[in-house]
Amino acid sequence: LVPITAAARGPMPSARRRTMFSSTTIASSTTIPVARTPVGGYGDTFPDPILSACTDPIIDGAPDMRGLWRVVEAMVDGSPLAEHRIVGSVQRIEQCGDRVTITAGGIIHDMRCDGTEANGVNDVAEFDKTTPITVVATFEDGVHVLRPVGVPIEVKRWRDGDDLMWQYVGFTCRLTRLD
């Protein structure tokens, strides 16, 4: 949940559709194991989807952020920037029940949006893929809100028509769906 570096952005990762569950498996958000970022990150190719076999509906009040998204615009104080290192980067977001996975920039952040540290993101930061992070996740008024423990910031994602908006420290991005 930190900005993607130009080196980490690279070419658009492949979005393979295999899963660890068979097509006949019925899985819920509570039975699918929590995913973690592999040591050193996942590289240039997205890992297999994590929640694709889940049969739980997205909970009421959660924005539907599912999909493969590309950042097409970065803004500061509402003004588009001519260039920003985040433009062109890709995120895969999966949802099931109150669970969300965000796969991007070599990391996998898998969380339940229940407002607890225990079920939030307990993984590594994107910038070095080794620094441990704990992030509380919630849905508030149709917005996905992430609050890193011990850091006075909020990261937000919400839908704006067909687009996804992503507010991070110092900038806001517009993402368009690729799938």
pLDDT at 20 over 70: no
Residues 6+ apart with CB under 8 A from 68: 15, 90, 91, 92, 177, 178, 179
Joined together, the tokens standing for residue 173 give 């991005």
- Integer CA distances (angstroms), 141 to 62, 74, 87, in order: 8, 23, 27
Q: Which pLDDT score, from 0 to 100, does residue 3 have? A: 34
Q: Which pLDDT score, from 0 to 100, does residue 144 have? A: 98
* Inter-residue contact 157 to 67 (CB < 8 Å): no
Pick the residue with more confidence: 26 or 57?
57
Q: Which pLDDT score, from 0 to 100, does residue 11 have? A: 40
What are all long-range contacts of 125-129, with beta carbons under 8 Å and residues at least 24 apart? 125/1, 125/2, 126/1, 126/2, 126/3, 126/4, 126/8, 127/2, 127/3, 127/5, 129/37, 129/39, 129/40, 129/41
Q: What percentage of the chain has pLDDT greater than the value 70? A: 86
pTM of the entire predicted model: 0.85
Give me the chain's average pLDDT, please: 88
Count CB atoms within 10 A of the CB of residue 121: 26
Q: Which pLDDT score, from 0 to 100, does residue 24 have? A: 53
Q: What percentage of the chain has pLDDT greater than the value 90? A: 80
